[in-house]
Structure 1
Amino acid sequence: MFLKYLQIVNYKNLKSTRFSFVEGVNTVIGENDSGKSNAMTALRILLDDTYYYNTKRLKENDFSDSLENWKGHWIILSAVFGKITSEDKKTEVCAGIVPENEDEEFLKSYIKSGEDDIGVISLFIRPQKHVRKKLSEITDTAEFEKERRKIKISDYEFYYTSRAQTDFTNNDIYAKIVGDLENGKCSNPDEDDDSILGCKLNIADVQDHISVVFIDALRDVASELGKPKNPIRRIIESVESLIKESELDTIKSEIVQLNISISKVEQVELVGRKINEKLLDMIGMVYSPEIILQSGLKDDINSLSRYLFMKPSKQNDIDSLGLGHLNMIYIALKIVEYEINRTRELINIMIIEEPEAHIHTHIQRTLFDKLKVTKDYTQIITTTHSTHLAEVSEVKNINIMKSISSNSISMQPSQGLDEFGKQNLKLKNLKLSDCIERYLDSKRSVLLFSKGVVLVEGDGEEILIPNIIKKTLGVSLDEIGIGLINVGSVSFEYIASLFGNERIRRKCAIITDEDVQIVEKESTFYKAEAEERGQKRKDKLTKLYGTNPWVKSFFAPHTLEVDFALADTRANSDYISNVIELNYVDTDTVERHKKNLKSGTEAKCANTILTLAGNMGKGWYATTLSNYIDNATTIPKYILEAIAFASKEVISLDIILKMIEYSLSKYDGNTVIDLKKENKEIKTNDEKNEIIKKFKSEYENDVVTKFLREVEKYCKD
């Protein structure tokens, strides 16, 4: 049995989302404050009996950040377990969470066909029955709101159920069981539907059979190991019964002798006598008890275990080790503790927050691979920021967090991925998920963390595009939140399949060449088949992703190198002229190429560019060219559009103002807008928007204005 799904409704920044897990090691990735830790806390609230959570610990800010008024709303946490076999169901506790009658619609969306039975445990943190009953009887909206304002945290209850086959992330379901509170309607608790909520459950009966171990991200290893209840002591407590009786007797005998020896130390006896003398002085001989001072080391192994400590074999103190080694030791200790103490037969879950903390990248991969060996006896859920851990994770094991305003959702990149591969990419003997797993190295797995993604086909685009954006807009792609991935081919359809409503809901722009031939047919660079391939590629991508709101293709009419030169023969050609001078020694050759570049036909210009890039290699050409471009560079339109599309959801007002400030600096101070002066007065978003509006009006042809127009266009779409 293993945890297959976790539904979370109205808990902190997780308004309504579902996590998907598999056996073995699972990875939850996402940016800071995206809700990874909140999800793990929610799981512990539901299943971990050592994390006791009730109305005394419940706080107002535990309710969803997006609720205008938390009062009356419910927090819902629901775990769906998979792979419950007929043998498992023979146990009373396991049989108690398996639905008596399976809901086909629920199973269709939650469980693949052919799997064993499911089990469900749910927690509803909701107002007590009398509170809901009173609200449900009020028909006047004003009176309802007045009564609702009286609700306190202490009016809430923790109600556990089993067997619920309900998608609680469905807004209609939520409205049915809770009501429309904002419009003065509360559901009648007398009409609570067990077919939706499930059967009442004594959670203690189940939690006794569930083991949850939590390793915090903010771990002070040296401090943890120094605590009385450290992992070492808990391990020794667990193996105490296995120690031979003869060994225990020997230890006890030696401790008795040690206590006697300590007590007979002259200074110790002297202190005891002085205490007795002081008592006699204070209360007299009749009332004064006679005391002695003696050693009282306990002789049981449980007490002795607190004095066990770890240290490096060649050093005197564990504090001499670095943070990386300490973290690895601590994780190893927790896993050993878990292996020894995993006595709960129903399910064992280990939660590790940021296992990569302070650990070298190569060791991160090794550690993660070794964690997989625990698959036979436990399920591990890790949260991470590490692209290296993402690299060694399987796509089906990953949940990606995405922040939307004050809410976060969980996305599963493997959802329906293999089916997409079979139906649309005609993959017969290969699984698309397997192909992508092999493809996503630590560099390319950046796409799992980025807020927007741009896929390019080669080294030239990978090198030149980030530099063009930085030089012209004044911000890097990283600042905008865009990850640029070099696919290394034109097979974009495989990687782009990760993006969509079912999987990763982030913008993915594809930049590729249409390869329309511009050079003369007699030229060595003329390739009719390239133009045919370009058209087929365009047709394929349009067919696959034309209706996908998250994926859009942008085509260079010819190739990056040619279209950069043709974008503005006055400005961009000057940068290319510098590269020509650097690459060629012969004066006549330099002048001929410069002439073709600036005053020749498009065909001659293209021929010069292709010759130059061919001689140097496209990657090195792009690197060299990047050294010369500046803020006067003209961005090819298709690149500008692609970056605008990818950044549609993530670009902020502050980033835009930074672009404007950078752009104004090239006007040598003679600007209509004095941003330094106005910045002191800018406080609200309305004031920021007013500055942006003013800039766009006064500088219509500025590259920042052109970029913002493209962003606005996609926002309207």
Structure 2
Amino acid sequence: MYISRLSLRNFRNFNSASLGFTKGVNTIIGENGAGKSNLFHALRIMIDDSMPRSIRFYENDFNRSIGDWAGHWIVIQIIFDDLDNGEEAQSIAMHKMADAENFDSSRGTYSLFFRPRIDIRRSLFEFSEKEAKTQEELSEILSQISLNDYETVYTGRGNIDFSIDDNYSSYIGDFESMTFPDPDEERVDIYGIKIYGISIPNEFACTFAKALRDVEADLRSFKDNPLINLLRDKEKNIPIEKKSELENQIEELNKSISALDEVKSVSSGISQTMRDTVGETYAPNVNIKSELPANMERLLQSLKLWVGDPDEEDYDGRLGELSLGGANLIYISLKLLEFERIKKNEKIANFILIEEPEAHIHNHIQKTLFQKLDKESTQVFISTHSTHISSVSAISSINILARGKKKAEVFNPSNNLEPNEVIKLERYLDANRTNLLFAKGVILVEGDAEHILIPVLIKKVLGVSLDELGISIINIGSTGFENVAQLFHEERVRRRCSILTDNDISIVPLPKDEKDDDQYQRDCRNSEISGKNRKQDLDSFCENNDYVKAFYAKHTFEVDFLLEYNSHEIKETVKKAYKQKKSIESIGSLIVNDNVAISGKEILRLAKKFGKGWFSIMISENINHLTYIPQYILEALIFACPDIKKSILIYIAKYRISKLINVNIDNLNYSEIFANFNAFDDGTEALNYYKKELPNDVLSEILVLKNA
């Protein structure tokens, strides 16, 4: 038995979300604030018997995107697969087609509804039956509802996923059209059957290891300390005579400590001082007594972990001497051991929830820990923002959480992909590439040159890094764009993906008859044909997919970079690479030639001579705020990051002007422009002023492309 799906409606930052899970280890990845902890809390409400059953929700537990929470429901639903024939499992077995006598005994649903009580639901239904009704009247009814008018109900055997908008509107209520169902005709095949007499979480073995910030503090706690829980479980196995013997020894030791002359002298000194201060009548009697715990449970609570470094076998010390990562490993290990203890009991399902295990843990240990968690007959859920853990996670068992406007978005990167396509993706996505799963936007390139130089271009010209913009640039090498870009789709990861590649249009004139080509022309012609075919294939691949778009250099990345008025950067690179003045001048004259057949040929020769990747590193040292970003790269940037915050655009504007103040170009008074720009209180007005004063600037191009 395992959880195959979790659906959430109106719970915290989840407006309507549905996550699919597999047997074994499941990974939930996402940036900070994406909802990983909220998702775990929802799971624990349903399956963790350490959570209270009388769950109460509050106003801030409702998703903010719905506006006024009054009248809305919070719904948490779990679908289980591979149910056995036990009574507890069958209490949640799902009905088939509303036929109570013919149900699917291998699949079950378990739901929580936090909903208005039936009298409130009746009043909403009666209101919706009125012929003449207004939103004002509905608002008046809703304004009278408080949380005291709500109830928490658990059901099994429901058939409807309430994360689907149409289902929510039909069976809970449509607040726009003001229609609400009749609660007295509540259908058990829709909502499920109320569960009485059986506590479903009690039938599970569930262990939760929370994200750790202070391991020592957690291990000092009596309430949540997994070490204490393990020792407490063992206490009942200690023979009574052994307990009595130890407790008697502690009592004798306490008496011996209290009877020490040094202890008595301090005690009498305190008593005498008290009498001298307040007199015999009011002075309390004072004694110093040893209070080593004589109770066996208290004795066990006094036990502490001592640990040693694996490289120092003969030494161990207190937990505080261990690194934070080592302490986290100790805690996780204790929680897993605690799980093995409760798992031994006869439970119908076993679950482990581990929140962000990567904290302070070395990369290799993160991967090893993840791979070791695949336990027999146990379903594991791990939340993480570690690319090292995500790199060893199966794509089919990953759910991605992303921050949306007032609500989380959920992506399943393997949804509707063929198994062989999933296998290829899993082989490709190592730790350096899985950051594309965390990004707000992605740019795919096929060479080292673009991968090295584009991030430098963005940072030096705009003053912000791709990381600040939430964009990952991924070098796919020879993998093929389509193999990776298929991740970005309405059914999978709903994030923008720009593909950057070359059109490879020949830089030299080609004869009409290919038989007249020399060797260089033949190579150029073949590249042009390949470029044309590649463009046709990519354009066809991107068609009807709003999340992927290809952008093309007219010739090649190096040639197009040069043609965008960047000969200065290339000449500066040549000066550092060559020592002979004659070579520098000769190359420089070729680079600035207006004929692309000459300048393009020379830049490609240099790239080949030094190697494209190394040549890009050399050029990157000469990039500055005056360097031009090729138009197709700008367009790819805007497509991948369509929602650049206004605050970032204003930051770029200030960066650009402050850099231009010290450069005497265009005979503009940049100091005055800077002062005027900063005088605006409204960001939109400031940016419009920037476009007006600097219409040819790169930021103005970006604003035009964004229609901002």
Please state whether the residue corresponding to 1:611 is helix, strand or coil: helix
Contact kept, 8 Å, 2:677 with 2:690, in 1: the verdict is: no
For 1:312-711, list aligned pairs within 5 A: 312=307, 314-342=315-343, 343=345, 345-372=347-374, 375-418=375-418, 431-489=420-478, 491-519=480-508, 521-522=517-518, 524=520, 526-568=523-565, 572-648=566-642, 650-668=643-661, 670-671=669-670, 674-676=673-675, 679=678, 682=681, 687-711=682-706
Q: Once the 2 structures are TM-superposed, how far is the Cα of residue 263 of structure 1 from its aligned partner?
A: 7.7
Task: Kindly report which structure 2 residues correspond to 1:82-93, keeping only aligned pairs within 5 A, or say none.
Answer: 82-84=81-83, 88-89=84-85, 91-93=86-88
1:254 is displaced (CA, Å) by 3.9
Q: 1:677 & 1:698 partners in 2: Cα distance?
A: 11
- Give me the CA root mean square deviation: 3.0
Contact 1:657 1:688 survives alignment (8 Å): yes
Say if 1:188 and 1:102 are closer, same or farther in 2 by CA, change over 3 A: closer
1:484: Cα distance to partner? Answer: 0.4
Aligned letter for 2:8?
A: I
Partner Cα distance (2:173, 2:340) in 1: 45
The one-letter code matched in structure 1 to 2:322 is: L
1:656 Cα shift?
Answer: 0.9
- Alpha carbons of 1:435 and 1:268: their partners in 2 closer, same or farther (altered >3 Å)? farther
Write the distance in 2 (CA, Å) between the matches of 1:392 and 1:458. Answer: 25
For residues 599 and 564 of structure 1, the distance between their equivalents in structure 2, rounded to whole angstroms, comes to 14
Larger deviation, residues 339-348 vs 15-24:
339-348
Residue matched to 2:201: 207
Tell me if structure 2 keeps the 8 A contact 1:47–1:207: yes
Are 2:46 and 2:201, in contact at CA under 8 Å, matched by a contact in 1? no
1:239 correspondence with 2:238: no
Q: 1:74: which partner in 2?
A: 73
Structure 1 counterpart of 2:6, one-letter code: L
How far apart, CA to CA, are the structure 2 residues paired with 1:513 and 1:191? 63
CA distance in 2, matches of 1:247, 1:169: 57
Aligned length: 666
Deviations 1:296-324 (A, max 9, x none): 87766434321211112534422222221
- Aligned-partner Cα distance in 2 for 1:673–1:169: 55
* Greater Cα shift, 262-271 or 1-10: 262-271
Further displaced range: 670-679 or 157-166: 670-679
Pair 326,590 (structure 1): closer, same or farther in 2 beyond 3 Å = same
**Structure 2 match to 1:110:** none
Counterpart AA for 2:370? F
Task: Compute the displacement of 1:585 (Å).
Answer: 3.9
Matching of residue 97 in structure 1 with residue 97 in structure 2: no
Q: Check the 8 A contact 1:37/1:353 in 2, yes or no.
A: yes
Structure 2 vs 1, CA of residues 413 and 116 (structure 1 numbering), >3 Å: closer, same or farther?
Answer: farther
Q: For residues 257-296 of structure 1, what are the structure 2 equivalents within 5 Å?
A: 258=253
Does the 8 Å CA contact 2:88/2:198 hold for their aligned counterparts? no
The separation in 2 between residues aligned to 1:656 and 1:133, in whole angstroms, is 51
Provide the C-alpha distance between the structure 2 equivalents of 1:622 and 1:556, rounded to a whole number of angstroms.
Answer: 16
> One-letter code of the match for 1:556?
A
Cα distance in 2 between the residues matched to 1:133 and 1:165: 23
Match of residue 133, structure 1, among 122, 138, 143: 122
**Shift in Å, 1:205:** 2.4
Match of 2:219 among 217, 222, 225: 225
Q: Distance in 2 between matches of 1:503 and 1:564?
A: 34
Mapped contact 1:262–1:268 kept (Cα < 8 A): no
Could you tell me which amino acid in structure 2 is paired with residue 654 of structure 1? S
> How big is the shift at 1:186?
3.4
CA distance in 1, matches of 2:424, 2:11: 36
Gap change, CA 1:201 and 1:452, over 3 Å in 2: same
1:598 and 1:295, CA in 2 relative to 1: closer, same or farther beyond 3 A? closer
Counterpart of 1:304 in 2: which secondary structure?
A: helix
Q: Deviations over 1:210-241 (max 9, x none)?
A: 23322222442111211223211211222334
Equivalent position of 1:17 in the other structure: 17
Q: What code does the residue aligned with 1:467 have?
A: V
Describe the shift of the 1:585–1:680 C-alpha distance in structure 2 as closer, same or farther (beyond 3 A).
closer
Cα separation, 2, equivalents of 1:268 and 1:397:
66
- Report the alpha carbon displacement of residue 196 of structure 1 after superposing the two structures with TM: 1.4
Residues 578, 253 of structure 1: CA spacing in aligned structure 2 closer, same or farther, 3 A cutoff?
same
- Paired with 1:340 and 1:8, the residues of 2 have a C-alpha distance of 31
Kindly provide the CA deviation profile for residues 610-643 of structure 1, in whole angstroms up to 9, marking residues without a partner as x.
1111111101111111111222222212111111
Q: Which runs of 5+ in 2 are unaligned?
A: 309-314, 510-516, 662-667
What residue in structure 1 maps to residue 174 of structure 2? 180
Q: 1:316 to 1:621 in 2, by over 3 A?
A: closer
Q: CA deviation at 1:523?
A: 5.8
Q: Per-residue deviation at 1:201?
A: 1.4
| Other structure's SS at 2:410 match | strand
Q: Structure 1 residues 629, 189: closer, same or farther in 2, change over 3 A? A: same
Match of 1:46 in 2: 46
Q: Distance in 1 between matches of 2:342 and 2:259?
A: 41
Does the Cα contact within 8 Å between 2:508 and 2:597 map onto a contact in 1?
A: yes
Give the distance between the partners of 1:116 and 1:596, measured in 2 at CA: 78
Indicate the residue corresponding to 2:137 in structure 1: 143
The CA deviation at 1:573 is: 0.9
1:33 corresponding residue in structure 2: 33
The structure-2 alpha-carbon separation of the partners of 1:473 and 1:294, relative to structure 1 and needing over 3 Å to count, comes to closer
Is there any run of 5+ residues in structure 1 with no aligned partner, and where? 105-114, 284-291, 420-430
Three-state SS of the structure 2 residue aligned to 1:100 is strand
The residue type equivalent to 2:398 in the other structure is: I
Secondary structure of the 1:614 match is helix
Aligned to 2:300: 305
1:514-547 C-alpha deviation (Å, 9 max, x unpaired): 2222136546483433222222222222222211
Shift in CA distance, 377/306, structure 1 to aligned 2, threshold 3 Å:
farther
Cα contact 1:74–1:124 (8 A) shared by 2: yes
Distance 1:345 1:456 in 2: 50
Q: Which residue of 2 aligns with 1:427?
A: none
- TM-aligned CA distance change 1:45 to 1:58, over 3 Å: same
TM-score by length of 1: 0.86
Q: Secondary structure at the match of 2:65?
A: coil
Report the equivalent of 1:112: none
Cα 1:482–1:344 shift into 2, 3 Å: farther
Q: What is the CA–CA distance in structure 2 between the aligned matches of 1:456 and 1:152, rounded to whole Å?
A: 55
**Contact persistence 1:645–1:710 (CA under 8 A):** no
Mark the CA change 1:203 to 1:537 in structure 2 (over 3 Å): closer, same or farther.
farther
Asked if the contact 2:138/2:178 (under 8 Å) is kept, the reply is: yes
Matched residue type, 1:200:
K
- Say whether 1:120 aligns with 2:109: yes
The answer to whether the 8 A contact 1:474-1:662 is kept is: yes
Rounded Cα–Cα distance in structure 2 between residues aligned with 1:149 and 1:574 = 68
Instruction: Provide the secondary structure at the position in 2 that maps to 1:208.
Output: helix
> Partner of 1:383: helix, strand, or coil?
strand
Deviations 1:13-62 (A, max 9, x none): 1100111222222211111111111111111222223222646x421011
The corresponding residue for 1:7 is 7
Residues in 2 aligned to 1:589 and 1:219: alpha-carbon distance in whole angstroms: 60
Q: 1:490 to 1:561 in 2, by over 3 A?
A: farther
Query: 1:559 is matched by which residue type in structure 2?
Result: T
After TM superposition, give the deviation of residue 170 of structure 1 in Å. Answer: 1.2
TM-fit CA distance, 1:294: 8.8
> Among the aligned pairs, what percent are the same residue?
37
Amino acid aligned to 1:665 = S
**Which residue of 1 is the match for residue 665 of structure 2?**
none
Q: Secondary structure at the match of 2:160?
A: coil
